[in-house]
Amino acid sequence: MDIVIYHNPACGTSRNTLALIRHVGIEPHVIEYLKTPPSRALVAQMVERTGGSVRDILREKGTPYAELGLGDPGLSDDQLLDAIEAHPILMNRPIVVSPRGVKLCRPSEAVLDLLPQEGLKPFTKADGEVVIDADGRRVGALVAG
């Protein structure tokens, strides 16, 4: 399975998401998006594939979000894409692209929706939270129905 993760190694959620992908036996294409930002067109395409809006992937914390006035509901998607292009830190992470879809994986276990479900092995996040139990079942709010 071909997986791409737009990753920030300084982010715990991004690290946990990457660990979950590797945990199921997939070595993804890792793109450190602050070093190699995706093009404006690619960001727009990913947003479209999530089924959401550009605003859904905006990161506020630790970014120039407030300084740029990006909370203004009157801003268009084009204006928000311009801001992300100029300041890639505004793109929330991690975004994962898989044959099963594209998703902003917050919390990290959201990535399980994009990965094979067969033969899941136990997994515990770095903070001690169990994501996959000893029986290979997803644990918590995102349990598959």
From 3, 5, 11, 43, active-site residue: 11
32-49 CB burial, b ≥16 within 10 A, e <16 = ebeeebbeeeebbebbee
Q: Is 105 a catalytic residue?
A: no
**Phi and psi for 77 in degrees, rounded to 5?**
-60, -40
d(CA 117, CA 96): 16
- The torsion region of residue 6 among left (phi > 0), alpha (psi -120 to 50) and beta comes to beta
Residues annotated as catalytic are 11
